[in-house]
Structures are given as C-alpha cells and as structure tokens.
Structure 1
Amino acid sequence: MKQVQLGSQGLVVSAQGLGCMGMSTTYGPSDEQENLSTLARALDLGVTFFDTAEVYGPFANEELLGKAFAGKRDKVVLATKVGFEFTADGKLAMVDGKPVVTGRPAYVRAAVEGSLRRLGTDFIDLLYLHRIDPETPIEETIGALAMLVREGKVRTIGVSEASAATIRKAHAIHPLTAVQTEYSLFERGVECNDVLGTIRELGIGFVSYSPLGRGFLSGELKNLDSLAPTDFRRFDPRFQGDNLQANLRLVDRITEIAASRGAKPSQLAIAWTMNAGTVPIPGTRRVKYLEENIAAADIILTSDELAALDEAAPIGAATGDRYSSAMMETLGH
C-alpha cells in the first residue's frame, strides 16, 4: 500500500485507511476474533492508518485496537476522536433525543487520557474533535488540543464534520492536519459547501469516512432483510421505503460502470475518493471485503470513467438525509 502525507504537518499514512467503528457498534453484533484477524491482515497488506473514537462502543473500539496493536505501536498510525459527552455509567449523554456534544477544554483533556489508556499508548497520532460544540468557542477547544500536542500526548489534530468557517478559525489557532467528513459518490456535500475548497487552500488533508455510502456502494445490499435488528441502517433515512429504492437505482448505474472494467462497485467508489485527493477509510469486519477494498488502491480511473460516474451520481443524487434529524443537528457547525 502506498504511503502518503496527510496534510502539511508531516503525518504519513497509508493511502487507504481502515475505519474500525463497525467492529464495535452500529452495524450489529461482531466477533472479536474475526475483528482481530481483519486488523492483522490489514497491517500485513500495508494499511497503517486506523480510525476509531471513544464513542464507538462506547470505548470498546479503542480497547480492541489497543489489544490488536500491542507490541506493534511503531507500525501503526492511530486516529481517534473526542467530543461527545457520557453519563457517569458510561452511556452516551442525550438531551431531547440528541447526543450531547462538548468541546469544553477540561472534558477534552479527560477524554484524551481515557483514549490513551484504552489504546495502550503514550500518544495519539491524530486526534479529531468529533463534532463541533456550538456552545464552546472553537478557539478554546483547539487551544486545549494544542496544549496536548505540546505535552507530547497528541502528535497532530483535526476536526470532523465542521463548517468551512470553523475549519478556518481552528486552523488559525493550531494547524490542522486533517478534516474528516462523510464523502463518497453517495454524499458529495463537501464539494458545494466550501469545505473541500478551504482545506485545499490551507493545506489540510481530507479523510473520507463512509466512502461506500454505509454499504450501499458495495452493491451487496438489496433490502434490509439481511441486516441485524440493531443495525442502525434500519432507521437511516436513506434506507427507508421509496428512498431505498431510489438509492438502489443509483447503485445499479455505478455497478454497470464497474462491470465494464471488471471491478466491483465498491472498488470504483473507493478509487473515486482517492482520485479526488482524499484518504478514504472504508470499514469492514471481514478479511474478504478488506482485501477487495485494498485492491481499489491500484485502480486508476480514466477520464471517461470519471465522467460516467459524475453523470451517474451527481451532487445531491442520493435520496434522503444522511442521518436521523437528531444527528443531523450535530453536523456542520
């Protein structure tokens, strides 16, 4: 796997990372041994960039990576995220059906200490503010992250799902290495809200999460019958009723383009995000799909293929919001 520089602060990562969230939450039950095997195989194939967060589980995903990479810390680049609040018994804090987002400096510092402990490491390579707290000035939060960098507990920092204006304010306090936001043929909002333009202007890297549209772009999903009862996609607006059928038709068009060059739609989708100059972090729990995803790094899309994909999946093509209304309110601050 090719290694690339993410942003302009010196962090080097594999050109494709691995999103680890689904190993511990959101997509139904998983098997720890299978997860560990997939993480080990990723490392064998040259993936060095692994993405987690304290909220994944909560906490269990960081513990999984700590276990997987014990004794291998020098071989991996660990990215984690803080910024959601938890109750005393370790559950995600909710108010009026919405998760509580916090950027308070004291909370961020305590959260980072917890992440370090669970990951079994003395430092975090890339620490993101998971969501932007509209009640805490971004300058205060980034100031706290900058102090953690000076203390050596964090190497580089970033933000997730932030507006262009917030990215500029944050970067002025301490250079951001990366911005992480959903980006795929299914979700191209960053192309028209000035986020991509801003990070390119400022020399900030871009990490694409959900590059497969939460599984839509795998081409494997035809209905919800195969999903676990606790799989959040059963409640995701894009997977509901008429939205589901419209979005499956979009996938059919991408599948046709992929078939013309003997590739899977998932591989074309990942290659498309890489062609856009981003580092995608597709998630999977299974070695089979991991190997398919990694093979996408070798696909060079032609100008005709790029034009065909742009026609098949233009900006705004997906039907339905990308999150529930409560989660939508946490985006874009």
Structure 2
Amino acid sequence: MTTALDQGANFWNGGEHYGPPDANSLQLLRAYFSMYPEDADKVVLSIKGGMGKDHAFDGTEKGVRPSVENCVRLLGGTKKIDIFECSRVDRNTPIEETMAALLKMRDEGLIGGIGLSEVRAETIRRAARVAPIAAVEIELSLWSTGATNNGVLETCKEFNIPVIAYSPLGRGFLTGKIQSPDDLPDGDRRKNFPRFQPGKIENNIKLVKALESIADRKGVTLPQIAISWVLALEKRFHVTIVPIPGSTKSERVLENCRVLSLAQEDLEDINCILSQHPVEGDRYEEQVMLLSDG
C-alpha cells in the first residue's frame, strides 16, 4: 500500500463486504491508517456498501444509512470516506430516492461524496439530476469492453464524472497466468464465473495469447498493455478514467503503475484482436448478473 502511494496510486477502493467479518477491507484500512496516519489526507478512499446480511440490496434510507454508519464505525476515525457507493442498484427503489438519502448523509458529514457502481447510462442521468456524482465505478478492461458501446462513458463525459475501472486485468486473466480452471485454487470464486469455466475459457485464452504478441513486440508485460489500453480510452471518450488493479506484491504494483503510450497502430491491432476473439461467457454467475448494470 505504501508502494502504491509512492507511485501516485492514491485512489483506494474497499467494501463493507470485502473479506471475512473480522478482517474485512475496512478493518485492514483502519489498521493501515492507524500505523500511517500521515497518509490519510493523501488517499481518496472509495467504499462500497449497501448490502444487507441476507445479501440483498436496499436502496432506501433505512437500508443504506446503517451500512454507511457501519463503514464509518469500522474505520474508527482513522480516515474519512471520501466516496460511498451502493455496490449495486436496488431495482425496487428509485435511484432518486437512494441519491437523496446519500445526499443527506453527505451533508451530515458522514461521507465526502456519492458514487455509483455497476450502472447503466440512464441510471447515471437520473442520479445526476438529484446529487453531484463523484465517480462511476464499472468493470472495464480488454476482458469487459461493454462500457465502450453502451453509452456509459459518453454519459460520464457529459456530466464530467470520473470513471473508476475495476478489474482492469480481468480478475487476473489478463496476466496470462491462468490457462485452465485448474490454475485457480480451491474455493476461488472465479471458478463459478462462466468465463473461467470449461467450454469458455479455452476460447478466451486465445484472446490472451493474441494480446501477448503485442506485449512481446513492445517489450512490456501483458498487464501493462491491458492497463494502458484502459487509460487510452480517456482520449477516445474525453473522460477521466482511473484503473484500480489489485495486487498483493509490491513488484506487481510497480509493474502496474508503469503507464505506456500506445501508438495508434497498437490500438488498431488490439481492436482487431478483440473483434477476432470475442470473450465468451458472462462476467458473473446468472443470479449476480441480474443485479449488475442497474
């Protein structure tokens, strides 16, 4: 984490439901900022929540407020929540109602700003009419290009909203180290994702192999190509994009922070590869996909 901050990677993302109850991301962040209190003002902290104990999403104030207050409690005053996002849109509650509730909590000082997660372009428009949107977090990578053609990036440009690109390395698939489901450890949730399953992964590996040829040609790593491609979308769509790759090793953080300038020829070659090797399989299990793109 200190390596990331040293490299200027100061947008940190956590979640109320990330990790076990006794050591989730908020508790780990509390431990970090307790050890390095001087870093608190250097970091923009975005936290996702809004999911109840039954894993259901409740976008009413009655549902969202306890989540916000719990996140604040878990941080223990070590760091303010700069941006709070409901992990998914509650389809039974108008987004306007959720935004009004979060705006009230922002004005109370519980959070610094309001973000959106896994949303459609129309949802962004409706939400932005109620409250300023600090960020929109979506899955965006060479593995998940939907935002380039569903109007989300254009809408974020229209409202001057930064885009937070989660899983820019395709949950590790764009590292080239996953060749079959057997390469994932037992209990790894990715084994449940259609893209990683037999009958799909074999075709998806062809995409990785083709992209690796560009990385080899430029003398860089595939993760560097993947992250640089995401950043190249800034120029194409005229919107700020912040990729947030995760890592457990400082050397990987250094690798991922090395931004490349992809030439037009590189981008054209990548687009050709994407058209030749479309990704097979959904991003999540069927029941989770029903909650996505709200």
Q: TM-score with structure 2 length normalisation?
A: 0.92
Aligned to 2:268: 307
C-alpha distance in 2 between matches for 1:314 and 1:114:
45
RMSD of aligned Cα (Å)? 1.5
Q: 1:120 to 1:316 in 2, by over 3 A?
A: farther
- More helix per residue: 1 or 2? 2
Listed as ranges, the matches of 1:150-229 within 5 Å are 150-229=107-186
Which residue of structure 2 aligns with residue 43 of structure 1? 5
Q: Distance in 1 between matches of 2:291 and 2:108?
A: 30
Match of 2:76 among 120, 127, 142: 120
- Superposed CA deviations along residues 131-166 of structure 1, whole A, max 9, x for unmatched, are 000111111110011011111221111110111111
CA distance in structure 2 between the aligned counterparts of 1:79 and 1:58, rounded to whole angstroms: 19
Between the aligned partners of 1:78 and 1:316, the Cα distance in structure 2 is 36
What do the CA deviations read for 1:36-80 (whole angstroms, capped 9, x no partner)?
A: xxx122123222111011111255111111111221311211110
1:328 to 279, 289, 292: 289
Q: Distance in 2 between matches of 1:220 and 1:329?
A: 29
1:109 maps to 2:65: yes
Q: How does 1:15-34 map to 2 (within 5 A)?
A: none
Q: Given the alignment, which residue of 224, 242, 256 partners 1:293?
A: 256
Change (3 A) 1:110 1:224: same
How far 1:236 sits from its partner (Å)?
Answer: 1.1
Tell me how far apart the structure 2 counterparts of residues 280 and 209 of structure 1 sit (CA, whole Å): 6
Q: Distance in 1 between matches of 2:268 and 2:183?
A: 33
- Please tell me whether residue 253 in structure 1 is matched to residue 214 in structure 2: no
Alignment partner of 2:84: what SS? strand
Give, in angstroms, the shift of residue 217 of structure 1: 0.7
Judging changes above 3 Å, is the alpha-carbon distance between structure 1 residues 316 and 82 closer, same or farther for their aligned structure 2 residues? Answer: farther
Q: What is the CA–CA distance in structure 1 between the aligned matches of 2:204 and 2:251, rounded to whole Å?
A: 25
| CA distance, structure 1, for counterparts of residue 146 and residue 154 of structure 2 | 12
Larger relative contact order (Cα-Cα within 8 Å, sequence gap ≥ 6):
1
Deviation at 1:315, TM superposition (A): 9.8
Of 123-132 and 54-63, deviating more is: 54-63
- In structure 1, distance between residues paired with 2:180 and 2:92: 40
Is the contact between residue 88 and residue 292 of structure 2 (CA under 8 Å) also seen in structure 1?
Answer: yes
Task: Please name the residue that 1:61 is paired with.
Answer: 25
Secondary structure of 2:181 counterpart:
coil
Provide the rounded CA distance (Å) in 2 between the counterparts of 1:141 and 1:130: 12
User: Measured at CA, do residues 253 and 316 of structure 1 come closer, stay the same or move farther in structure 2, by a change above 3 Å?
Assistant: closer
Identity %: 37
Within 5 Å, give how 1:86-97 maps onto structure 2: 86=53, 93=54
Q: After the TM superposition, which parts of structure 1 deviate over 6 Å for at least 4 consecutive aligned residues?
A: none
Q: Name the amino acid aligned to 1:209.
A: Y
1:52 maps to what in 2? 14
Q: 1:188 touches 1:315 (CA, 8 Å); kept in 2?
A: no
Contact 1:84 1:130 in 2 (8 A): yes
Quick one: which amino acid aligns to residue 104 of structure 1? T
* Number of aligned residues: 282
- Cα distance 1:322–1:43, how it changes in 2: closer, same or farther (>3 A)? same
Out of 263, 266, 284, the residue aligned to residue 247 of structure 2 is 284
Gaps of 5+ in 2: 235-240
